[in-house]
Amino acid sequence: MREWKRWTVEEDKKLLKEYKLKGPTKLSKEMTNRTIYAIMQRYRILTQSNKPIERIHETQIDKCPFCGSSRINKVDTWYGNVVEAYYCVNCLKEFLPNRELIPPLYADGCEGR
């Protein structure tokens, strides 16, 4: 059984460039970690979608941009709507993947007087 992995930018480029020339069977032999079905599905997604595929986790965040701690967790939080963000256990700050600080809901420390 093959292990599931995210599609890389290089794989997407190869797929878009060579799919019509070689077909999914030949490409699956070249791309040994991809099945014929996975190649056909990915090509369909890439070509039938009007919007580009958003690559959320291209760069992995391993340190807090504010204190440098590696004690961070990925969280879902409210920032206008629900977004994926990171939370630093060391300095207690939430930040977006682009390292922008999410301001605290209660900036003055008075949560519920």
Considering the entire predicted model, what is its pTM? 0.45
Place of tokens 């799919």: 19
| Tens-digit pLDDT profile for residues 35-73 | 999 999 999 888 886 655 555 555 578 899 999 999 999
State whether 23 and 65 are in the same domain: no
Domain that includes residue 100, residue range: 59-113
Report, as an integer, the average pLDDT of 80-102: 89
Residue 71 lies in a domain: yes
- Average pLDDT of 83-112? 82
Q: Which amino acid is at 97?
A: P
Residue 1 lies in a domain: no
Q: Are residue 66 and residue 113 in the same domain, yes or no?
A: yes
Position 3 pLDDT exceeds 70: no
- The CA distance from 44 to 42, in Å, is 5
Are 76 and 95 found together in one domain? yes
Q: Is residue 13 part of a domain?
A: yes
Strand partners, 75: 85
Per DSSP, helices labelled H in 1-113 are 9-30, 36-48
What pLDDT digit, counting tens, does each position of 24-43 carry?
Answer: 999 999 988 899 999 999 99
Position with higher pLDDT, 112 vs 78 = 78
**One domain for residues 109 and 73:** yes
Q: How far is CA 18 from CA 8, 26, 98, in A?
A: 15, 10, 33
